[in-house]
């Protein structure tokens, strides 16, 4: 293991810490959403749809969530069956449909909001407001680096 790390111990430790923090936040999200009959993925879609002024296409939801359209279609099917989301015609393209949140979906989000806010506050207890800003910025930089790396790897992989 020591040869594998070869002087990059802080980088590997930071990666492990990010994974640990990610799993802690996801466990908290899952706990809050699954107790209400909605998976973490479906919760993400509900939040996105609840924040939108109009419906969102399945493809746009998939891109925003970083998952496949097939995955989003399944989540929308489930949310639609539960009455939280509905499909509506796309006014700009008659061949397409949009997913939009229903009044029941909005009510679900409202009921989820306060417990979620309290849980996030508890997760970040002891952090100064300035630390939270730095933490957020570092996480966004990490995500931006990952996106640049993924783009480079895609370009390398698509070369003849």
Please give the model's pTM, rounded to 2 decimal places.
0.66
Going by C-alpha positions, the residue among 106, 117, 110 that lies closest to residue 83 is 106
Whether residue 96 is predicted with pLDDT greater than 90 in this model: the reply is: no
Give the alpha-carbon dihedral of 132, 134, 138, 143, to 10 degrees: 50
Mean pLDDT of the chain: 87
Residues written for the chain: 160
Q: What are the tens digits of pLDDT across the range 17-62?
A: 999 988 888 777 666 665 667 787 888 899 999 999 999 999 999 9
139 vs 41: CA distance, rounded Å: 20
Whether residue 2 is predicted with pLDDT greater than 80 in this model: the reply is: no
Q: What are the tens digits of pLDDT across the range 116-145?
A: 888 888 899 999 999 999 999 999 999 899
- Whether residue 61 contacts residue 105, with contact meaning beta carbons closer than 8 Å, is answered with no
Whether residue 70 is predicted with pLDDT greater than 80 in this model: the reply is: yes
The strand pair at 56-57 and 93-101 is best described as: antiparallel
Give the alpha-carbon dihedral of 127, 133, 134, 138, to 10 degrees: 120
Whether residue 147 is predicted with pLDDT greater than 90 in this model: the reply is: no
């Amino acid at each position: 293991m020591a040869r594998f790390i070869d002087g990059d111990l802080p980088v590997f430790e930071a990666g492990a810490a990010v994974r640990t923090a990610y799993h802690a936040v996801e466990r908290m999200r899952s706990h809050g959403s699954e107790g209400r009959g909605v998976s973490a993925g479906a919760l993400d879609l509900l939040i996105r749809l609840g924040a939108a002024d109009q419906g969102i296409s399945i493809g746009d939801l998939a891109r925003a969530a970083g998952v496949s359209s097939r995955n989003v279609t399944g989540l929308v099917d489930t949310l639609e069956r539960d009455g939280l989301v509905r499909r509506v015609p796309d006014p700009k393209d008659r061949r397409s449909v949009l997913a939009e949140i229903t009044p029941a979906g909005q009510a679900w989000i409202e009921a989820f909001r306060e417990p979620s806010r309290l849980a996030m506050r508890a997760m970040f207890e002891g952090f100064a407001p300035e630390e939270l800003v730095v933490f957020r910025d570092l996480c966004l930089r990490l995500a931006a680096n990952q996106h640049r790396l993924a783009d480079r790897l895609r370009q390398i992989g698509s070369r003849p």
